[in-house]
């Protein structure tokens, strides 16, 4: 920690009002986005005595709807489910060949299916970011793979200090293997394990932030069901430890962080007297801008997620608000190699009508075939005889964001065909399993006669890559006091699900930034 001359640090420790941020405010630190990167940043700054404004375009997700629940169910999506859409855009668009999307009222819902030319990028919207919608799979990469993930970061520091810190703060835990062997809701995963092992692939349990004791009680029917009621994608009402249950209460306890939900940062540019002028649009729940606020911040942290941060930086560079950002901004974006697929099982391998929406295991063929496949649920409530997988692959393709002056929007040049290396890597697992089991791929989940879910990613990474667009701690090149501190720092792939790495890297970077820049 630096000495007493702490620019922008508030005197005293008067707890701050709940917010939102007011027009004309002058603040020491403004954080854009409240996902993993944003909440780590807000917490650690506040604990170091810095007053923080945390600005989030999505809702707070702290108030129940008319059904008494905060979050909607996957089986009955409603206005809460999607960000400003009039029709759902479900990752699995079809079932038994039939389209399953439906009309919904336009609302600032929780899951954004953001469409670019060749890919749909799913992201969480709200205080908690992706932690609100994700599966909670909390995976630390194998150490032997770390050099390829973040080549300029000291692996010893990460594995000795920051990964453990992130895992502890996120509340990561592992399923009880003995319980797994008998739980009805994991029959689908046991089928996945059996078939993987019969084909010679290692099946590994995957840690998750779900409360595993609560999961046991759900199976025993002694508590309201959440994972066992098919809750995922649109939020989870009970057992999942999203950031709302981990970092956020600690943030609130500091009394130093003002949170402004339904506030979207539109512009950041140097202020004449030092620091940055930040233009913020307040939204109503149909997405209209109701108020535009202009504030001044001594330091600004971009934690709007890989896509959100990249889009802002690319636009601000191209439109002259931040012209000195370097040419690496917007580059090295990847999809973490995501591809989805379903397999049709033999009649003697039912996967069960009750499936926990929280995956607990995967098939590791990373070293030999470049794929790590989560055994994922299909929580339809009926027996499907299907096994479903989300694979993370070593797909080497990288895309770039660029400013489109004609549309005044940021484009991403990813092509759907660029998924092919990822599909080939996933096939290194599933072609073999199909041959061994005498089974075939499902063709009814992504359209009519379409095998591969190659149109989407859940894991956007890159666009403001560490030690390229920034220095080795996320300080953006060209400007003092501007930082990127989220998934945009990671060049396209983490070999496993990304949020533990995003959290650990943010913990590492903010520690250095607090020690040297405040």
> Which residues lie near ligand FAE (CB under 6 A)?
32-37, 55-58, 122-126, 129-131, 133-137, 233, 264-265, 303-306, 308, 312, 458-459, 486-487, 497-499, 502
Q: Where are the beta strands (DSSP E) in 116-250?
A: 120-124, 203-205
Q: Can you read off the two tokens belonging to residue 426?
A: 């996933």
Taking a C-beta distance cutoff of 8 angstroms, is the pair 453, 92 a contact? Answer: yes
Whichever of 309 and 439 has its CB closer to ligand FAE, that residue is 309
Whichever of 140 and 345 has its CB closer to ligand FAE, that residue is 140
Taking a C-beta distance cutoff of 8 angstroms, is the pair 30, 55 a contact? Answer: yes
Element spanning 340, H or E: strand 339-344
Q: Can you read off the two tokens belonging to residue 350?
A: 């039912």
Taking a C-beta distance cutoff of 8 angstroms, is the pair 511, 48 a contact? Answer: no
Give me the least distance between CB of 174 and ligand FAE, in Å please. Answer: 14
Q: Can you read off the two tokens belonging to residue 185?
A: 């809701």
Rounded to whole angstroms, what are the CA distances from 483 to 28, 184, 298?
Answer: 14, 47, 12
Whichever of 56 and 349 has its CB closer to ligand FAE, that residue is 56
Q: Is 109 helix (H, G, I), strand (E, B) or coil?
A: coil
Whichever of 112 and 349 has its CB closer to ligand FAE, that residue is 112
List of residues 6+ apart from 213 with CB closer than 8 A: none
Whichever of 29 and 437 has its CB closer to ligand FAE, that residue is 29
Taking a C-beta distance cutoff of 8 angstroms, is the pair 209, 138 a contact? Answer: yes
Rounded to an integer, what distance in angstroms lies between the CA atom of residue 120 and that of residue 113?
6
Whichever of 51 and 56 has its CB closer to ligand FAE, that residue is 56
Rounded to an integer, what distance in angstroms lies between the CA atom of residue 315 and that of residue 310?
8
Rounded to whole angstroms, what are the CA distances from 55 to 29, 48, 51, 127?
Answer: 11, 19, 13, 9
Residues with catalytic roles = 374, 459
Rounded to an integer, what distance in angstroms lies between the CA atom of residue 496 and that of residue 364?
10
């Amino acid at each position: 920690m630096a000495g007493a001359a702490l620019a922008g640090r508030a005197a005293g420790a008067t707890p701050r009002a709940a917010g939102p941020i007011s027009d004309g405010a002058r603040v020491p630190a403004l954080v854009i986005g409240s996902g993993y990167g944003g909440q780590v940043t807000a917490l650690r700054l506040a604990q170091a005595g810095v007053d923080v404004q945390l600005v989030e375009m999505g809702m707070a997700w702290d108030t129940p709807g008319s059904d008494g629940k905060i979050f909607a169910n996957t089986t009955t999506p409603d206005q809460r489910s999607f960000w400003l859409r009039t029709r759902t855009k479900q990752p699995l668009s079809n079932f038994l060949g039939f389209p399953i999307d439906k009309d919904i009222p336009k609302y600032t819902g929780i899951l954004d299916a953001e469409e670019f030319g060749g890919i749909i990028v799913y992201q969480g919207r709200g205080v908690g970011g992706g932690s609100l919608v994700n599966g909670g799979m909390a995976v630390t990469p194998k150490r032997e793979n770390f050099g390829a993930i973040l080549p300029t970061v000291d692996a010893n520091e990460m594995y000795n200090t920051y990964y453990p810190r992130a895992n502890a703060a996120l509340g990561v835990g592992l399923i009880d293997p003995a319980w797994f062997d008998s739980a009805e809701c994991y029959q689908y995963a046991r089928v996945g394990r059996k078939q993987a092992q019969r084909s010679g692939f290692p099946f590994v349990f995957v840690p998750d932030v779900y409360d595993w004791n609560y999961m046991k009680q759900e199976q025993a029917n002694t508590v309201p069901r959440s994972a066992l009621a098919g809750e995922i994608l649109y939020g989870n009402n009970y057992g999942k430890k999203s950031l709302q249950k981990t970092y956020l209460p600690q943030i609130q306890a500091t009394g130093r962080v003002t949170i402004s939900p339904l506030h979207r940062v539109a512009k950041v540019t140097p202020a004449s007297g030092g620091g940055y002028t930040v233009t913020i649009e307040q939204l109503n729940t149909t997405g209209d801008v109701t108020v535009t606020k202009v504030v001044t911040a001594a330091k600004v942290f971009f934690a709007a997620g890989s896509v959100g941060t990249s889009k802002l930086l690319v636009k601000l560079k191209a439109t002259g608000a931040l012209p000195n950002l370097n040419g690496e901004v917007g580059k090295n974006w990847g999809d973490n190699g995501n591809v989805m697929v379903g397999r049709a099982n033999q009649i003697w391998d039912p996967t069960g009508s009750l499936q926990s929406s929280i995956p607990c295991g995967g098939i590791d063929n990373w070293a030999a075939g470049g794929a790590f496949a989560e055994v994922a649920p299909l929580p339809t409530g009926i027996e499907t005889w299907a096994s479903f997988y989300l694979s993370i692959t070593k797909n080497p393709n990288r895309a770039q964001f660029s400013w489109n002056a004609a549309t005044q929007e940021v484009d991403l040049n990813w092509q759907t065909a660029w998924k092919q290396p990822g599909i080939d890597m996933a096939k290194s697992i599933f072609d073999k399993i199909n041959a061994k089991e005498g089974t075939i791929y499902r063709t009814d989940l992504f359209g009519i006669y379409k095998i591969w879910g190659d149109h989407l990613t859940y894991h956007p990474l890159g666009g403001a890559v560490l030690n390229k667009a920034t220095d080795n701690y996320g300080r953006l090149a060209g400007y003092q006091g501007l930082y990127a501190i989220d998934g945009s720092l990671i060049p396209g792939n983490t070999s496993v699900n990304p949020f533990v790495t995003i959290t650990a890297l943010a913990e590492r970077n903010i520690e250095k930034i607090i020690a040297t820049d405040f």
